Structure 1
Amino acid sequence: MNRTHGGPDALGVAAWDFSTNANACGPCPTARAAVQGADARHYADPAYTSLREAIAAFHAVDAGRIVLAGSASEFIGRITAWVAREGGRRAWWPALAYGDYAQAAQAWRFERTREPAQADLAWLCEPASPLGAADPLAQAVAGSALQVVLDRAYEPLRLRGVCSLDPVAQNRVWQLWTPNKALGLTGVRGAYAIAPEHALAEARALDQLAPSWPLGAHAVALLDAWLSCASQDWLAQSLPTLRQWKQNLTAMLSDLGWTVLPSDANFFCAAPPQALHLPALRAHGIKLRDTTSFGLPGHFRLSAQPPEALHALHHALLAQRERVA
């Protein structure tokens, strides 16, 4: 199966990568040091007792609600399998959404339903990818589908606004967290979910579906570092920089005639005034994320990047415009 994703491709890591949604201020020094210093000589505690308790304390929830996962994608596949095992046959996800929701549903032969109230499993993501905005259906979905997962991968990178679901509503859904994006270390895989408030049995069932040791030493180190005051302070200090970089990027694209869509996150979608020659941009070390696979043709998703990346993109786009002219 072909999986379209931002970040490195067959040509390696792009010099100026606007296709990834990771925090461009990263990597977080505290998290990087923790990962580099991880002791990979030994197995982790198979129950991840201290990590599970630390995550629970960080979110002020019962430790029994914490489900550890190898990655967000691994959890997406696992909870879909669990819902299927429990008799679920229908799934709902937004029209524009991360492709793994649909891939997991198709793998388990779920029918896609148009109405969230008919779904056994529904997916929300805020800020959403690819648009980086709120989901206008969030409250309706959270109150209607049988099992609802709120993907919060980009919540730490929210630059404005608040989640559409208030704390009470959030406690009624699964919350999926993947801190590697916020910490600028997407190569380290590790995630966790918080089960709904009264779903301890369901959380145990999902734990039982996991393979042994879903998290290696480096993932444990990353998640431990994520919970630290030093990492949270670094993240908070990075947000004003990301806001400025995003503002500079949107202004530059608007000046070149692009149509920029609104976004609450460190990334957004935009449509160029004419077709782009992506291989030429890639040859210049620039990678953009074509959103056709998201169901949004003619647009690209771009993330806030530092001034030198912006300069490189500006130069390459001007060169393409001159060749067309």
Structure 2
Amino acid sequence: MTARIHGGPDAAGAAAHDFSTNANAAGPCPIALAAVRDADRARYPDPASTRVRAALAAFHGVTAGRVLPAASASEFIFRITAWAARQGVRQVELPPHAYGDYGAAARAWGLAAGEEAGLVWACEPSSPLGQQERSLRERIAGGATVVLDRAYEPLRLAGAASLDRAGLDRVWQLWSPNKALGLTGVRGAYAIAPAAAAAAAAQLQALAPSWPLGADGQAMLLAWCEPAVQQWLEASRAMLRDWKARQLALCRELGWTLQASQANFLVASHPLLPTALDRLRRRGVQLRDCASFGLPGRVRLSVQPPAAQDALAAAWRELAGAFR
């Protein structure tokens, strides 16, 4: 079985200064965290997620029938890939550098990469590069099922989305607010079906397990729709922009080469980085190796508070001195 590589805690536990995930470092959002803590775990949640779907529909200005709750973004990735395979799709298009579960789901269902892709994956801002998707409108015009992963749209710190409302109504939108809320330990996501995909939405809903959302996931998604939570998120983006400017300056001071990013994370490179990751981890600093993204020799690091940045700089300088 092929191992799936992710950032965040692993068998070694959580790092003191974790740059390896793209969660909002200004979080967790206190309002959302309180809602999760107050969730009633003693009873089954509504299996149809009626309140959640209605709230998300109003939040996005769509009908409730277009909202499909998911246990997580990864669960929906596998679900829609299974649906596409059942529709006769045999080829898939993956971004050149992207979240590994798109490809893992395709392999699980025997879909090959090819020019006649019936299922097209896109992510904006992209991970790990935090950039715009190229030729997204052309992909939509091609008639394939296009899934736009918008996990990092709420954490966009610059630029703008490629698609307007009309364009978004033609793609499947995949949202996982736990990143923006700084609550990645709470699993829960949702998709918004294209405006003209009622039959497909019903088929995908039929493929969902019972109770895809637990009580805490439902509480998080309901909180996501609250104006006060969105106000907190806007304030956190302002904080992240300040932290990012400081982190960019610090990384350049360390001699790292940086790639432009519109999100709360970026890709960096340095000749010593590939051999330094384990040593940094032992010093309490975790970065995300980009080899699994198809970018060997580079790392992705999320924007973190100044104290974590200073810990990274101190650990790097100590290691750099040892390498000399």
Which TM-score tier does this pair reach, normalised by the shorter chain?
over 0.9
Equivalent residue for 1:214, pick from 212, 215, 219: 212
Indicate conservation of the 8 Å contact 2:149/2:173, yes or no.
yes
Describe the SS at the equivalent of 1:180.
coil
How does 1:302-321 map onto structure 2 within 5 Å?
302-321=301-320
Indicate conservation of the 8 Å contact 2:271/2:297, yes or no.
no
Once the 2 structures are TM-superposed, how far is the Cα of residue 273 of structure 1 from its aligned partner?
A: 3.7
2:235 is the alignment partner of 1:234: no
**Identity value in percent:** 56
Indicate conservation of the 8 Å contact 1:15/1:286, yes or no.
yes
CA distance in 2, matches of 1:140, 1:272: 36
2:7 is the alignment partner of 1:6: yes
One-letter code of the match for 1:4? I
Aligned to 1:15: 16
Describe the SS at the equivalent of 1:123.
strand
One-letter code of the match for 1:308? A
2:52 is the alignment partner of 1:54: no
Indicate conservation of the 8 Å contact 1:119/1:145, yes or no.
no
How does 1:1-325 map onto structure 2 within 5 Å?
1-113=2-114, 115=115, 118-275=116-273, 276-325=275-324
One-letter code of the match for 1:304? V
Indicate conservation of the 8 Å contact 1:154/1:265, yes or no.
yes
Indicate conservation of the 8 Å contact 1:72/1:190, yes or no.
yes
CA distance in 1, matches of 2:73, 2:141: 23
Once the 2 structures are TM-superposed, how far is the Cα of residue 254 of structure 1 from its aligned partner?
A: 1.0
Describe the SS at the equivalent of 1:148.
strand
CA distance in 2, matches of 1:16, 1:137: 37
CA distance in 1, matches of 2:141, 2:291: 30
In the TM superposition, what whole-angstrom CA distance separates every residue of 1:261-288 from its partner, at most 9, and x where no partner exists?
0000000001014244222111111000
In the TM superposition, what whole-angstrom CA distance separates every residue of 1:190-243 from its partner, at most 9, and x where no partner exists?
000000011111111100001110000000000001111111010000011101
In the TM superposition, what whole-angstrom CA distance separates every residue of 1:68-110 from its partner, at most 9, and x where no partner exists?
1000000000000001011111100111011000000000000
Indicate conservation of the 8 Å contact 1:121/1:145, yes or no.
no
What are the ranges of 5 or more consecutive residues in structure 1 without an aligned counterpart? none
Describe the SS at the equivalent of 2:300.
strand
Once the 2 structures are TM-superposed, how far is the Cα of residue 33 of structure 1 from its aligned partner?
A: 0.2
TM-score of the superposed pair, with normalisation by structure 2: 0.98
Alignment RMSD:
0.9
CA distance in 1, matches of 2:212, 2:308: 36
Once the 2 structures are TM-superposed, how far is the Cα of residue 143 of structure 1 from its aligned partner?
A: 2.1
One-letter code of the match for 2:28? P
Indicate conservation of the 8 Å contact 2:7/2:288, yes or no.
yes
Aligned residues: 322
One-letter code of the match for 1:213? W
Indicate conservation of the 8 Å contact 1:127/1:264, yes or no.
yes
Deviates more, 1:69-78 or 1:129-138: 129-138
Describe the SS at the equivalent of 2:166.
helix
Indicate conservation of the 8 Å contact 1:67/1:192, yes or no.
yes
Indicate conservation of the 8 Å contact 1:67/1:193, yes or no.
yes
CA distance in 2, matches of 1:262, 1:137: 19
Once the 2 structures are TM-superposed, how far is the Cα of residue 248 of structure 1 from its aligned partner?
A: 1.1
Once the 2 structures are TM-superposed, how far is the Cα of residue 41 of structure 1 from its aligned partner?
A: 1.1
One-letter code of the match for 1:282? R
One-letter code of the match for 2:218? V
Indicate conservation of the 8 Å contact 1:127/1:133, yes or no.
yes
In the TM superposition, what whole-angstrom CA distance separates every residue of 1:8-40 from its partner, at most 9, and x where no partner exists?
111111100000100000000000000001001
CA distance in 2, matches of 1:5, 1:37: 29
Indicate conservation of the 8 Å contact 1:122/1:145, yes or no.
no
Deviates more, 1:100-109 or 1:163-172: 163-172
CA distance in 2, matches of 1:128, 1:101: 13
CA distance in 1, matches of 2:139, 2:127: 17
Indicate conservation of the 8 Å contact 1:269/1:299, yes or no.
yes
